[in-house]
Structure 1
């Protein structure tokens, strides 16, 4: 059984031989009568394009087959489809996932006739703020996993089966705080290589400060050799380098000095254009978001809410931000009160609203009245 949707039309003789050998080593996973670990995912990923990625990512076909089996098993164990669907489209995200996504800064662009372009704003991560929010590191790793899965799906569906994403890693803001909390960065960096082989074609690192070399020494050993070979560290002229054949010049985002407003095709992504000036985790916002998610999931007939939020102060009327002004907003100057992005719903607005109001309180339903014999009805 072969999936024609993702077949590669221009295979070389060496590639055809590699695919044939790899298929023989993993074909047992595709047998509909078999129920082996990873089989369900393998049946959805038996196409030429996907198998070729695995075959090209390891020095031997045997190693590629082992990687394929482990990847398909991992996909089933973590339920990757459910993780993806919790985050994409972004409007599906829960309150807690929105707050975690706010701090991740991952964006995917899909220009016409061009493989996906990923923008990782690693330098903007508020590492110390994340460390203070219990469970937020796990949520960010899930956001990143969904982000990789979405990129993989777009690259896999690219015409010709050879789609490879361009990854632009913006390190502006990188500091000693990142080194102090290097554990989270290592967790993030270790998610992709063993599960999403040959999904990226080039990794362009821009605006790297002096600590870049120290972090690179920690990260590089855990990356495969072929991944390290794709990394290109750019200097001050990175805009010209990016526009010189790497990506369409009109797709360079405004936060890098380009003209593309990242959020115009996905309104829920507009956070990435204002976080240049407001990149700190709002204390308590993640816990409050989790509380709201828990309340939303509880049966409504058994839950009541109480709130002791003070009335808004005079002059704290709703603050409306037009989409055309989004890139110029300094969140520190926004007055108290609810924030509205006209026509949009934004994770920053969610986080600030959560921080300005107390978490909803759960009230247990009243006990049923007792009968004459003392038992409850």
Structure 2
């Protein structure tokens, strides 16, 4: 992959501003226009006729907020949404995702969290979970450990963590009080920290980062609401040129580059008590820490559970493998 200067196309560049105020309701449940309602009904009819969805016996990831993510990703065009949904369902079957998640070893799952965006345990002003990804933390011994994991197992780890985000974190946050209730929470706010991150480190991690991005874009669409890039170095335009092809235009518009003093802007999106101190808030939390749950979350789950879990009917539960699963994924603990 070659390096070029940052494109002059304004639509392709990340946003720079003093306030972040994302629209987290348009195209979501309880805020659908009549045309969107019609498109949603048509989409559900199409996937039902294709035997990919049953309103009487929906799959755990076929709830309405999840289905709407595919429709929003395709601008409410039912046939295009059907194509992506069908491809994602084929992908889930190929990788036996339900069985993978249900049988993933707890200790390996917890170790895998260190390589990917981590939930702080807090939410932004709209109720969306706040994640942090500190790229420099993946250098040195941790990067060697990551590279030692066989590619197939590394891929499975990414899948398991996305299942946790969509089946546990987002659903827990939907259950908690939030500004846009009763609209479900179906996406996250992510802070990407480039502090002390060198160009060689980013270059060495490009395959790892691209793999995770491609997996999410195809199979977990519309799970990113706001992406705040903080502590961006002088070479960020080069980095942005690498990574912008990984995302569609809609996702690129969600990127905000905040530089070395992100606090004033981030506080327009995240209350100081829920914003980690390194980014201008009051929360005593760093990337290596476990989620620091707020009082509302503690009243429901007490503490962050270990390993693969789902949030259903107001309770934390362990995922169950489908009874018809024939190929249980490897649970080798590398």
Q: Distance in 2 between matches of 1:107 and 1:212?
A: 24
1:341-360 equivalences in 2 (<5 Å): none
Partner of 2:310: none
Q: Secondary structure at the match of 2:219?
A: coil
Q: Deviations over 1:275-295 (max 9, x none)?
A: xxxxxxxxxxxxxxxxx958x
Q: What's 1:57 paired with?
A: 73
Which of 231, 249, 259 does residue 207 from structure 1 map onto?
Answer: 231
Tell whether the 8 Å contact from 2:88 to 2:218 is kept in structure 1 after alignment.
yes
- Are the equivalent residues in 2 in contact too, given 1:127–1:177 (CA < 8 A)? no
Tell me by how many angstroms 1:105 deviates: 5.5
Instruction: Report how far residue 31 of structure 1 moved.
Output: 7.2
Q: In the alignment, what sits opposite 2:10?
A: none
Structure 2 partner of 1:329: none
Q: 1:214 to 1:116 in 2, by over 3 A?
A: same
- Specify the structure having the higher radius of gyration (Cα): 1
2:170 aligned with 1:155, yes or no?
Answer: yes
3-state SS of the aligned residue for 2:39?
helix
Q: Which residue of structure 1 lines up, in the alignment, with residue 17 of structure 2?
A: none
Q: Which one of the candidate residues 95, 106, 109 is aligned to 1:93?
A: 106
Pairing 1:1-377 to 2, within 5 Å after superposition: 8-30=29-51, 43-59=59-75, 60-85=77-102, 93-94=106-107, 96-104=108-116, 106-111=118-123, 114-126=127-139, 130-131=143-144, 133-135=147-149, 139-153=153-167, 154-155=169-170, 158=174, 159-175=182-198, 176-244=200-268, 246-262=269-285, 263=290, 264-265=292-293, 293=333
Q: Is the 8 A contact 1:15 1:52 kept in 2?
A: no
Aligned length: 257
* Structure-2 separation of matches of 1:155 and 1:268: 15
In structure 2, the partner of 1:285 is none
CA contact (8 A) 2:52 2:89 kept: no
**Distance across 2 between alignment mates of 1:71 and 1:131:** 31
The whole-number CA distance in structure 2 between the counterparts of 1:73 and 1:230 is 28
Contiguous gaps of at least 5 residues in structure 1: 1-6, 34-38, 270-291, 295-377
Q: Higher relative CO (CA 8 A, sep ≥ 6), structure 1 or 2?
A: 2
Any unmatched runs of 5+ in structure 2?
1-27, 175-181, 294-302, 307-331
Structure 2 equivalent of residue 340 of structure 1 = none
For the residues of structure 2 that align with 1:204 and 1:86, how far apart are their CA atoms? 34
CA deviation vs aligned residue, 1:247-267 (integer Å, no higher than 9, x gap): 221111244353323434457
Conserved? CA contact 2:44–2:53, under 8 Å: no
Q: Distance in 1 between matches of 2:232 and 2:192?
A: 9
Provide the residue aligned with 2:315 in structure 1.
none
Query: How high is the TM-score relative to the length of structure 2?
Result: 0.65
Q: TM-score, normalised by structure 1?
A: 0.58
Contact 2:267 2:281 in 1 (8 A): no
Structure 1 residues 223 and 248: alpha-carbon distance in aligned structure 2, compared to 1, 3 A threshold: same
When the two chains are superposed, the root-mean-square deviation of aligned CA atoms in Å is 3.6
CA contact (8 A) 2:122 2:129 kept: yes
Whole-angstrom CA distance in 1 between matches of 2:60 and 2:230:
36
